Amino acid sequence: MAELNIHWQTVEKISSKASKDVVVTGEGSDTTKKVESDTLTLKWGTKPVVVYVCDEAAGCEGFDKLEEVVLKDEKVALGMKGFKTVKMHPDHAELDPLLAGKGKELPRMLLVDPVKMKVKVLEKGKLKASTLYSAMKQVSGTVYKEKLDKVVKTHLKLLTEQDQLANAKKVLDGKASRLASEDGKKAEKDLAEVKKDRAEVDAKLAELKKQVKALWTLTPKSEKKTA
């Protein structure tokens, strides 16, 4: 199911040290120049980040289980929609100002809280769906007004409705195909009814799509929703 696919972006860096203006006093005049500060900033602003650290080319022990079990858990996969999801080579992670020294096992997951600028490390025995999802809820709770678990459960219900409608459309498509090959007014009338029912199903599917989009329009705690 497409909604359960996690879209990973491969990056080499997620954070950098901010610059600040410093006044330099010289002979006869003062000048301002930018220098590096100790304050870290994230590449994606205030959006929480999940960093998947692994050297896929060299192979990571536990890679298959992480890919096929943990990341295919429905709650984990849907919950990732509230995060920026990136993959990093371990060498790049170690050079990143925020991620350096955060864990050593491969593969590992690093959850970045953009508010507290803290990193939650999940590796070895902690790389379980329940542990990852719990950490995701905790991090998202510092960023968004909406509760991640409530959003995910609502989306799961919408997916059930979507499946039911998709099955109904499949049945209607079969009826339409059969009736289109038949002659007579009755077949023509029945085909018109089937097309009407199919249009209603399409409209409901379109409405579900809108609801999902609105569901994942999450509100940062520092902002207010507009009417």
The answer to whether 51 and 99 are in contact (CB under 8 A) is yes
Binned at pLDDT 50, 70 and 90, residue 226 comes out as very low
The answer to whether 88 and 51 are in contact (CB under 8 A) is yes
Any idea what the Cα angle at residue 77 is, between residues 60 and 205, rounded to 5°?
145
Burial 35-49 (b: 16+ CB within 10 A, else e): eeeeeebbebeebbb
Nearest to 49 by CA among 123, 136, 132: 136
Per residue in 122-154, pLDDT (tens digit) is 999 899 999 999 999 999 999 999 999 999 999
Per residue in 155-200, pLDDT (tens digit) is 999 999 999 999 999 999 999 999 988 888 998 899 999 999 999 9
The residue type found at 178 is R
* Residue 27 pLDDT greater than 90, yes or no: no
Alpha-carbon distance 42 to 23, whole Å? 26
Please report which residue ranges of 63-128 form alpha helices under DSSP H. Answer: 63-65, 74-79, 90-95
